[in-house]
């Protein structure tokens, strides 16, 4: 697994498309929101900005890059060759997704620290960590599911759009309008409960016990995505 992860990390820094998707785009968007946080505070809150940062990195830096990577490795038969080694299927996938996951986690951590310094620190750091980890877990699971229906790296540009744009749209909807209305619907959508959890962690004002309940919808999406991935994931190119 570690050898696969090291190889994959090297490939990430050699691939300009993945490098732009993983680093430049999320950092640029996050920098814009942080720089203009006073304007966005007029319609939302600091927690909303933190949620957008988290999902920008999660959607583009992690989700899209992971789908593209898995589709590319399948297309060039690298997945097939790895499966002929002593590594288990789980170890292979873990090694392939570990670099993008760790890089996304580092990005989110650094950007949120900068945001806390520039604007205001979060109310509950422990809850913030839980929100970030739960969100990244959901995005990895959704990436594995999407990779199952993605035939090539070029195809990934299409198959990843619904989820990547969808979770950011849901985060914006929940972050700006709150959950006073249609709470059940917002929490059930992918990213809705995670956004509310981030809002509670950064803005405060909600009991920790009430916030932790929001983990249930997020991990439900993890379970659904993993189930779908098990059924749809292919190790060889589709014919």
* Rounded Cα–Cα distance for residues 197 and 200 (Å): 5
SS3 of residue 73 by DSSP: helix
| Other residues' Cβ atoms within 10 Å of the Cβ of residue 224 | 15
User: Is the dihedral angle over the CA atoms 153, 190, 42, 49 positive or is it negative?
Assistant: negative
Which pTM does this prediction carry?
A: 0.90
Q: Which residue ranges make up each domain of the chain?
A: 2-232
239 residues of the chain, pLDDT tens digit each: 777 888 777 777 777 666 666 677 777 777 777 777 666 666 678 888 899 989 999 998 899 989 988 998 888 888 888 888 888 888 889 999 998 899 899 999 988 998 888 888 889 999 999 999 999 999 999 999 999 899 888 888 899 999 999 999 999 999 888 888 898 999 999 999 999 999 999 988 788 888 889 999 999 999 999 999 888 888 888 66
| Integer CA distances (angstroms), 17 to 8, 94, 99, 113, in order | 14, 22, 16, 27
Angle at 18 between CA 79 and CA 133, to 5 degrees: 85
């Amino acid at each position: 697994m570690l050898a696969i992860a090291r190889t994959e990390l090297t490939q990430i820094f050699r691939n300009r498309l993945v490098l732009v998707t993983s680093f430049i785009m999320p950092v640029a968007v996050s920098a814009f929101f942080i720089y203009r946080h006073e304007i966005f505070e007029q319609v939302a809150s600091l927690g909303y900005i933190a949620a957008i940062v988290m999902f920008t990195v999660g959607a583009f830096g992690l989700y899209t890059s992971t789908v593209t990577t898995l589709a590319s490795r399948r297309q060039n038969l690298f997945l097939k060759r790895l499966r002929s080694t002593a590594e288990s299927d789980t170890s292979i996938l873990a090694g392939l997704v570990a670099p993008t996951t760790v890089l996304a986690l580092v990005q989110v951590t650094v950007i949120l620290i900068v945001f806390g310094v520039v604007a205001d620190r979060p109310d509950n750091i422990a809850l913030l960590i839980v929100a970030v980890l739960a969100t990244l877990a959901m995005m990895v699971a959704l990436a594995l599911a999407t990779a199952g229906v993605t035939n090539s790296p070029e195809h990934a540009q299409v198959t990843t759009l619904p989820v990547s744009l969808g979770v950011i749209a849901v985060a914006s909807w929940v972050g700006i309008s709150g959950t006073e209305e249609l709470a059940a619907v917002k929490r059930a959508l992918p990213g809705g409960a995670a956004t509310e959890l981030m809002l509670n962690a950064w803005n405060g004002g909600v009991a920790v016990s009430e916030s932790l309940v929001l983990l249930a919808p997020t991990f439900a999406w993890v379970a659904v995505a993993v189930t779908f991935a098990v059924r749809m994931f292919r190790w060889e190119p589709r014919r």
